[in-house]
């Protein structure tokens, strides 16, 4: 009897929650940052999944069979673009879901309208750790760019769900108000570091540097996936000594050994910053990501 009651209860809960899920619009994003921003504007109206789980390197992600299933039932798809999540192209080509293909109403390329940095036609000039001719893709690391990104997301959501347009716009306005306040705080906290020389493992930080006026003078990794040569490392260490760089910025997915080696030789500290939401345990949404990064930087500069 008791068992039957439990079973009935469980079935009811399952039914109720699936009914609730049907209410919400399923949105798939490529990264956790976009998930956080989509949740910020979508609020209760959306159920968002990120294809790349928190803490994985999105540039090297390999899609899984489950990802194809997620796309199949999605009504909107939000991606970083700028060749950052190229692996998503093959998923999109394979999906039978016509509403999220490139150019369809549910397709959102969040890089649309972003003022891109470090555009290099076809790999012009010295290597800087990127094979991205279309510009450096880490634009979400400038919190001001969230204004543009959320605008694209609201436009996409409005296309597939016009009735809730007002809700999305209101959510976005509230989020941006909170963000603007936070940006002022972050800028104040990082103001003493203006112009301070920093070194990073990978060139993920130009947008962040531009917003907070930081000076990344060099990178340990010259090409993604290729270990640095001894002369490059010697050059970096010499540069750090010349410019008085006392901080090496590392993301949790980047090799501890090489970073520790450079920091040790140059007498610098290591600051571990998250390149995406969820990369650090305390960075569980877009604003918390910057809180964590700003704290890590100021702690290392002390």
Partner 1 sequence: MSDALAFLWLPFLVAICLVGIHAYFGIQVLKRKVIFVDLALAQIAALGATTAFMLGHPAQSLATYGYSLAFTLAAAILLAFTRNWAGRVPQEALIGVIYVVAAAAAILLIDRAPQGAEHLKQILTGNILTSGPHDLALIMPLYAAIGLLHWSLRSRLTGTGSLAWEFVFYATFGAVVTSSVAIAGVLLVFSFLIIPAAIGVMFASSLGRQLAIGWVAGTVTSALGLAGSFAFDLPTGAAMVCAYGASLALAGMLYPFLRGDRAHALRTTIAAARWGAAALLAASAVQLAAAPRADQPLLDTAEAMIPVLRSLYLSRNEAATFADASTYAARYGADAEQLNELERRNRTQGEALDDFSIARISSFLKSYGEMRKGEQFVMQEVRARARERIRWAGALGLMALALVAAPLPWRRLAKVSG
Task: List contacts with partner 1 (CB under 8 A).
Answer: 53-57, 60, 64, 115-122, 124-126, 133, 135, 144, 194-195, 206, 209-210, 213-215, 226-234, 238, 252-258, 260-261, 264, 278
Q: Shortest distance, CB of residue 253 to partner 1, whole angstroms?
A: 5
Nearer to partner 1, 54 or 155 (CB): 54
- The C-alpha atoms of residue 132 and residue 118 are separated, in whole angstroms, by 9
Residue 29: CB partners within 8 Å, gap ≥ 6?
A: 35, 38, 48, 49, 50, 51, 77, 78, 79
Nearest to 249 by CA among 288, 279, 284, 287: 279
CB of 40 to partner 1, least distance (A): 21
Q: Which is nearer to partner 1, 102 or 241 (CB)?
A: 241
Closest separation in Å from C-beta 232 to partner 1 = 6
Q: Do residues 186 and 294 touch, judged by C-beta distance below 8 A?
A: yes
Query: Which residue, 181 or 264, is less far from partner 1 as judged by CB?
Result: 264
75 with 26: CB under 8 angstroms? yes
Closest approach, Cβ 15 to partner 1, in A, equals: 30
Which residues does residue 46 pair with via DSSP β-bridges, in sequence order?
25
In angstroms, give the least distance from the CB of 263 to partner 1.
11
The minimum distance between CB 30 and partner 1, in angstroms, equals 16
Is the CB of 96 or the CB of 125 nearer to partner 1? 125
Residue number, 157 or 283, with CB nearest to partner 1: 283
What is d(CA 48, CA 42) in angstroms, rounded to the nearest whole number? 9
Task: Provide the 3-class DSSP secondary structure of residue 196.
Answer: coil
How far is the C-alpha of 60 from the C-alpha of 29, rounded, in Å? 16
The residue whose two tokens read 């006392």 is: 246
**Which two three-digit tokens encode residue 282?**
């305390």
Q: Which is nearer to partner 1, 104 or 288 (CB)?
A: 288
């Amino acid at each position: 009897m008791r068992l039957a009651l439990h079973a009935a209860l469980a079935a009811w809960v399952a039914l109720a929650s699936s009914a609730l899920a049907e209410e919400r619009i399923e949105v798939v994003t490529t990264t956790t940052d976009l998930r956080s921003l989509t949740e910020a504007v979508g609020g209760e109206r959306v159920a968002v999944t990120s294809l790349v789980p928190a803490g994985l390197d999105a540039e090297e992600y390999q899609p899984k069979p489950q990802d194809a299933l997620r796309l199949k039932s999605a009504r909107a798809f939000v991606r970083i673009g700028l060749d950052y999540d190229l692996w998503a192209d093959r998923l999109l080509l394979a999906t039978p879901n016509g509403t999220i293909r490139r150019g369809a109403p549910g397709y959102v390329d969040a890089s649309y309208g972003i003022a891109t940095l470090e555009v290099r036609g076809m790999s012009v000039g010295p290597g800087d750790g990127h094979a991205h001719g279309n510009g450096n893709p880490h634009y979400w690391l400038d919190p001001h760019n969230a204004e543009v990104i959320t605008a694209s997301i609201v436009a996409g959501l409005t296309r597939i769900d016009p009735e809730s347009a007002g809700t999305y716009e209101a959510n976005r306005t509230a989020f941006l108000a909170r963000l603007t306040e936070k940006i002022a705080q972050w800028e104040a906290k990082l103001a003493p570091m203006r112009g301070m020389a920093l070194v990073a493992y990978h060139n993920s930080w130009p947008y962040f540097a531009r917003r907070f006026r930081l000076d990344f003078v060099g990178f340990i990794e010259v090409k993604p996936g290729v270990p640095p040569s001894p002369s490059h490392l010697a050059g970096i260490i010499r540069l750090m000594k010349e410019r008085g760089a006392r901080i090496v910025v590392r993301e949790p997915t980047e090799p501890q050994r090489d970073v520790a080696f450079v920091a040790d030789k140059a007498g610098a500290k290591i600051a571990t910053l998250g390149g995406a939401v969820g990369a650090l345990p305390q960075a569980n949404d877009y604003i918390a990501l910057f809180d964590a990064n700003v704290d890590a930087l100021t702690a290392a500069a002390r």
